[in-house]
Amino acid sequence: MDNKSQKLIERIKGKKNKGVNNKYVLRLTEEYFDNDYFKDLFKKDIKLILKNKKFNETVKKIRKELYKVYGVFQVKRQNKKNILLDKLKNTKNLNEVKEISKEILKLHSSTRERLNEYEKIYSSIFKITGKPKSIIDLGCGLNPVFSILMDFKGNYFGYDISSNDADFLNDYFKSVKGYGINGKAFATDIKKINKYPKSDVYFLLKTIDLFGRNKKKIFNDIINKANAKFIVVSFSKKTISMKDMKNFRRKWFDDILNKLKLEYELLDFENEYFYVIKF
């Protein structure tokens, strides 16, 4: 990537979305800047581009989309992740590892909400699926850190648009490898994956709503590409501002599953409800 492109991506991301994968941002720029006006603009000097009113108005729109899929889940004191990771590397005590992992999970709003009920959530899921030996986690955030708390042993692969989270998870997996977890994280846009690996269970937790207008098509694509015994999909019962939704069921999702004649069980918890879909 040349210096000009790098500066444009940095401007588009802003301070709150630095951790987003560059390829994902490039894909958004292709969508938002796909017209002759911007093609001519991008031939000009970088200083003129960054001062352009229409460019900056479009940047604001892109940042809103990035915030919905990334920024909204980040909490303050992200630097604490590395401090906790260092503590993790310096202990061989499983109980300490689990306590540090809980602290890490508090640093991402999605996993923090799940933390109070994680034992009931995962025991209920695995009661249906059986204890998996392999998990694919799509749009994972920091969710793979739960693996040590659920005493998971096997292959755990996570996919997320955040390069920072993927790098962190790979360091985390190295630290817990001695406990039977073979993990790997990938910074990628899951909508662009052509082939998914085989796995006992796929997780798609609080991710589908982030796909916006194309969520039905994207979920159908994932269903067609998935190579799993079960897919576990969850939806939040809260709004972005953390208010309770009056009607939290997604009828459109029920309709898709019924149309595809897929069997599923519904699990309802305080902040989130889950579909455990059998293939």
Per-residue pLDDT for the chain (279 aa), expressed as one digit of tens each? Answer: 577 777 877 887 777 667 666 766 776 777 778 778 777 878 888 888 888 888 888 888 777 777 666 654 454 555 677 888 899 988 889 999 999 999 989 887 778 888 889 999 999 999 999 999 999 999 898 999 999 999 999 999 999 888 888 989 999 999 999 999 999 999 888 877 888 889 999 999 988 887 777 888 889 888 888 889 999 999 988 765 556 777 778 889 999 999 999 999 999 998 899 999 998
Indicate yes or no: pTM above 0.85: no
pLDDT of residue 11: 82
pLDDT of residue 78: 56
pLDDT of residue 21: 66
pLDDT of residue 72: 44
Q: What is the mean pLDDT of the chain?
A: 85
**CATH class of the domain whose range is 108-278:** alpha beta
Report the distance separating Cα 137 and Cα 155, nearest Å: 11
pLDDT of residue 210: 75
pLDDT of residue 235: 92
pLDDT of residue 75: 47
* Cβ-based neighbours of 53, under 8 Å, separated by 6 or more: none
Domain ranges of the chain: 3-69, 108-278
